[in-house]
């Protein structure tokens, strides 16, 4: 900065030499000194902010691997903290969730799908650093942003990138355009929330409403909210946020009940009426989704 100011002084001096003398040179240099001091104070403030932020690129950072945490074991329950009470909306239009986190067509759907029109702008939910901005199998054009609380948000099926890998982004910053790249069935945003490679049900952490609410500044996450097999992509699971570690530990005690099959029942109907996924019923009872169930048969329902 000093070199720039010195150059500025010389430039002004040379240009005014043949035209007009600088009458009050002391006043001029005082103004320059004030600018220098102000700039130094601002630089120090920025440096303090940078020092305060954790180095999120220090461990398991990769621009080419979607999940760089494959060798990391995550312990449950885990705690997620937020500095804000709201997130920045990833899309500006009304957030219509067309497919939820859960079991879908015999596979795990590890995020939620939000309706959009190809070309709609997408935005980062929180501040962070872009870890990936490239084409991935299934997801198509994908942007992954790592945040300072350990989460990563994934924005998939883009039609155009608006950021580069290793870019620092602010909350609400433009990331690119939505689209249908990859294995998308129609234009939508496939939004995934990962913690060290583990996909968390986004609707457990956030309310996808007009207020863009985070359910709490501190949330405890159990395995239930990281395993799509316990949820259905067709409907939102019943959500009871866990605010303390004690609540999280208490919730681990699963409640098992017995359901007696009635005339006209199917696994799909039973799952819908009991708010559990078909996959969960099959897993607990060691049956397949194609298994024939009979009237009077007893099935375990575990929540």
CATH number of 157's domain: 2.70.70.10
Total domains in the fold of the chain: 3
In a domain, residue 163? The reply is yes
| DSSP code, position 229 | G
pLDDT in tens, 111-131: 999 999 999 999 999 999 999
Structure-model confidence comparison of residues 10 and 96, the more confident one: 96
Average pLDDT of the residues in 276-301: 93
In a domain, residue 23? The reply is yes
pLDDT in tens, 174-233: 999 999 999 999 999 999 999 999 999 999 999 999 999 999 999 999 999 999 988 999
Beta strands in 48-99 (DSSP E): 78-81, 97-99
In the predicted structure, residue 47 carries a pLDDT above the cut 90: no
- Weakest-pLDDT range from 22-36, 74-88, 111-125, 141-155: 22-36
Q: 152 and 194: one domain?
A: yes
CATH, residue 281: 3.10.350.10
pLDDT at residue 39, rounded to an integer: 53
Q: 231 and 267: one domain?
A: no
Q: 203 and 93: one domain?
A: yes
Q: 184 and 267: one domain?
A: no
Q: 293 and 146: one domain?
A: no
User: 92 near 63, Cβ under 8 Å?
Assistant: no
Taking 3-state DSSP, the helix, strand and coil percentages for the chain, each rounded to the nearest 5, stand at 25, 30, 45
In the predicted structure, residue 1 carries a pLDDT above the cut 60: no
In a domain, residue 31? The reply is yes
Q: 131 and 216: one domain?
A: yes
Rounded distance between C-alpha atoms, residue 303 and residue 252, angstroms: 10
Q: 296 and 149: one domain?
A: no
Among 197, 215, 243, the domain-final residue is: 243
In a domain, residue 66? The reply is no
pLDDT at residue 148, rounded to an integer: 98
Confidence of residue 52 (pLDDT cuts 50, 70, 90): low
In a domain, residue 65? The reply is no
Q: 270 and 132: one domain?
A: no
Average pLDDT of the residues in 153-164: 99
pLDDT at residue 254, rounded to an integer: 73
- Weakest-pLDDT range from 42-56, 152-166, 284-298: 42-56
In a domain, residue 70? The reply is no
Structure token digits, residue 37: 């001091």
Q: 107 and 32: one domain?
A: no
In a domain, residue 60? The reply is no
User: 83 near 159, Cβ under 8 Å?
Assistant: no
The domain of 268 spans 256-302
Q: 282 and 178: one domain?
A: no
In the predicted structure, residue 2 carries a pLDDT above the cut 60: no
Q: 128: Cβ–Cβ under 8 A, 6 or more apart, which residues?
A: 56, 145, 146, 147, 148, 153, 168, 169
In a domain, residue 68? The reply is no
Asked whether the whole model's pTM tops 0.75, one would answer: no
Among 201, 220, 243, the domain-final residue is: 243
Q: 11 and 135: one domain?
A: no
Among 243, 278, 294, the domain-final residue is: 243
pLDDT at residue 34, rounded to an integer: 52
Greatest alpha-carbon pair distance for the chain in Å reads 106
Structure token digits, residue 38: 């102000």
Q: 171 and 132: one domain?
A: yes
């Amino acid at each position: 900065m000093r070199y720039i100011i010195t150059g500025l002084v010389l430039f002004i001096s040379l240009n005014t030499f043949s035209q007009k003398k600088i009458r009050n040179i002391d006043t001029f240099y005082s103004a320059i000194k004030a600018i220098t001091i102000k700039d130094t104070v601002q630089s120090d403030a920025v440096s303090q902010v940078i020092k305060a932020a954790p180095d999120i690129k220090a461990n398991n950072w990769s621009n080419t691997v979607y999940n760089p945490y494959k060798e990391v074991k995550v312990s449950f329950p885990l705690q997620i903290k937020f500095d804000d009470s709201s997130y920045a909306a990833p899309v500006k239009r009304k957030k219509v969730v067309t497919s939820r986190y859960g079991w879908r067509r015999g596979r795990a759907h590890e995020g939620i799908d939000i309706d959009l029109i190809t070309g709609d702008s997408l935005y980062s939910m929180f501040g962070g650093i872009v870890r990936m901005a490239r084409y991935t199998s299934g997801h198509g054009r994908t942007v992954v942003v790592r945040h300072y609380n350990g989460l990563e948000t994934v924005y998939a099926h883009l039609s155009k990138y608006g950021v580069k890998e290793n870019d620092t982004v602010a909350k609400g910053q433009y990331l690119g355009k939505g689209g249908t790249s990859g294995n998308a069935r129609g234009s939508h945003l496939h939004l995934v929330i990962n913690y060290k490679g583990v996909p968390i049900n986004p609707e457990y952490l956030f309310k996808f409403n007009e207020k863009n609410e985070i359910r709490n500044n501190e949330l405890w996450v159990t395995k239930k909210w990281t395993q799509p097999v316990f949820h259905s992509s067709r409907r939102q699971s019943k959500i009871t946020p866990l605010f303390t570690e004690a609540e999280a530990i208490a919730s681990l005690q699963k409640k098992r009940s017995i359901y007696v099959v009635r005339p006209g029942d199917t696994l799909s109907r039973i799952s819908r009426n009991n708010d559990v996924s078909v996959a969960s019923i099959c897993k607990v009872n060691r049956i397949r989704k194609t298994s024939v169930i009979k009237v009077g048969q007893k099935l375990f329902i575990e929540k």
